[in-house]
Amino acid sequence: MTSRHDGVRVLTFGTFDVFHSGHLRLLERAAALGDELVVGISSDELNEAKKGRAPVYALADRMAIVRALRCVAGVFVERSLEAKREYLVEQGADVLVMGDDWTGRFDHLSDVCEVRYLPRTPSVSTTAIIEQIRGET
């Protein structure tokens, strides 16, 4: 995606591993805040650093799933949590949307664009799904 665009561009970030309804609801609500939604998908290395385990689905598959959604205009790779400012500028973001588990963490970027936190969907998570499949719950 380039930064040349009309209308309000919304950006969000995440791993979106073992894609589930909580991910979908977050993306649909983010998309509704503007005209197009662009999603930064965490690299396998970044996910490992964030969550202490490799993702179940590799980056190319996670990107293909998110890119295919009707509410998503485009995707790019997020390689570093600290590079948010660069990504927002590069992508021409008007709004940054994050789940409310990140509340306050990105307020310092509000000079670049509007920063919004949306409530997470309760009772669904990739970790819980993995544990359930393993028979641990």
Where along the sequence are the contacts to ligand C2G (CB under 6 A)?
Answer: 13-17, 22-23, 26, 42, 50, 78, 81, 98-99, 101, 120-121, 124-125
Q: What is the closest distance, in whole angstroms, from the C-beta atom of residue 41 to ligand C2G in the complex?
A: 8
Tokens found for residue 6: 């009309």
Min dist CB 35 to ligand C2G, Å, is: 20
Nearer to ligand C2G, 112 or 121 (CB): 121
Shorter beta-carbon distance to ligand C2G: residue 3 or 83:
83
Which stretches does DSSP call E strand in the chain? Answer: 9-14, 36-42, 74-78, 95-99, 114-118
136 token code pair: 């641990």
SS3 state at 21: helix
Q: What is the dihedral of CA 21, 100, 108, 48, to 10 degrees?
A: -60
Which C-beta is closer to ligand C2G: that of 14 or that of 34?
14
